[in-house]
Chains A and B, each alone.
Chain A
Amino acid sequence: MCSAIALVPSVFPKHLFEEHDLFTRVFDRGGNNPEVRFAFTDPVPLLPVMIGGVLKLVQWGSRSRQGPLPTTGWTWRTSVESGAWAGLGCETEPVLILATYGCEKNTWFRIREGIHGLLVTPPSGPPCAYMICDHPTRYFRVLTVGADRTPWLVNEVI
Chain B
Amino acid sequence: MRFVAHLDADCYYVSADRVRYPDLIGKPVGVVGNQGACVIAKSYELKAQGVKTGEPVWDVLKKCPETIFVKRDFRWYEVLSRRMLAMVRERSEAAEFYSIDEFFFSTDADKQIARGIQNDILNNIGLPVTIGVARSRTLAKLFSDTAKPLGIRVVTDPDEEREHLAKLPVGEVSGIGHRRAAKLLLHGIRTCLDYANAERRLIRGLLTKTGEDLWWELRGQPVTPIRPDRPTHKFLSRGGSIGGASADPNVIRAWLVRNSERLVEELEHYDLKAGTLSLSLSDQYGGGDSINAPLPGHTNRYGPIIAALLRSFERCWQPGTVITHMHLVAGDLKRPGFVQRTLFDPPDDETEPLAVVKRDVNERHGRFAVRGGTTLFIPEMYRDRSHGYEICDVRGKFCF
Interface residues of A (CB under 8 A from B): 8, 29-33, 35, 100-101, 106-110, 137-143, 145, 157-158
Contacts and interface: CB of A to CB of B under 8 A. Distances in A.
Interface of B: 17, 21, 23-28, 32, 35-37, 45, 57-58, 61, 65-71, 243-244, 380, 383-386
Given A29-B28, A30-B26, A33-B25, A109 B384 contact: no
Contacts of B68: 29, 101, 108-110
B45 A30 contact: yes
Contacts of A141: 36
Contacts of A137: 380, 383-384
21 contacts: A8-B23, A30-B28, A31-B26, A31-B27, A32-B26, A100-B23, A106-B61, A108-B68, A109-B68, A109-B71, A110-B17, A110-B69, A110-B70, A138-B36, A138-B243, A139-B71, A142-B37, A143-B36, A157-B383, A157-B384, A158-B71
Nearest to A142: B36
A108 B66 contact: yes
A143 B61 CA distance: 11
Contacts of A143: 32, 36-37, 57, 69
Nearest to B25: A31
Nearest to B29: A110
Given A29-B28, A33-B26, A110-B21, A138 B69 contact: no
Contacts of A29: 27-28, 66, 68
Contacts of B26: 30-33
Contacts of A30: 26-28, 45, 66
List the 10 closest pairs (A to B, CB-CB), nearest first.
A31-B26, A139-B36, A142-B36, A143-B36, A29-B66, A157-B384, A110-B70, A30-B27, A108-B68, A109-B69
Contacts of A106: 61, 65
Given A35-B23, A110-B68, A142-B37, 20 more contacts: A29-B27, A30-B66, A31-B25, A101-B68, A106-B65, A108-B66, A110-B71, A138-B35, A138-B36, A138-B243, A138-B380, A139-B384, A142-B35, A142-B36, A143-B36, A143-B37, A157-B383, A157-B384, A157-B386, A158-B71
Contacts of B244: 138
Interface centre among A8, A33, A100, A109 (most CB of B within 10 A): A109
A142 B56 CA distance: 10
Contacts of B25: 31, 33
A110 to B, nearest CB: 5
A140 B36 contact: yes
A32 B67 CA distance: 15
Contacts of A158: 71
A5 to B, nearest CB: 12
Contacts of B57: 107, 142-143, 145
A156 to B, nearest CB: 9
Nearest to B65: A106
A22 B71 CA distance: 29
A32 B68 CA distance: 15
Contacts of B66: 29-30, 108
Contacts of B61: 106-107
A26 to B, nearest CB: 14
Contacts of A101: 68
A108 B66 CA distance: 7
A33 B26 CA distance: 7
B36 A108 contact: no
Q: Which of A139, A140, A143, A145 has the most CB of B within 10 A?
A: A139
Nearest to B26: A31
A147 B139 CA distance: 47
A31 B18 CA distance: 12
Nearest to A27: B66
A31 to B, nearest CB: 1
B340 to A, nearest CB: 45
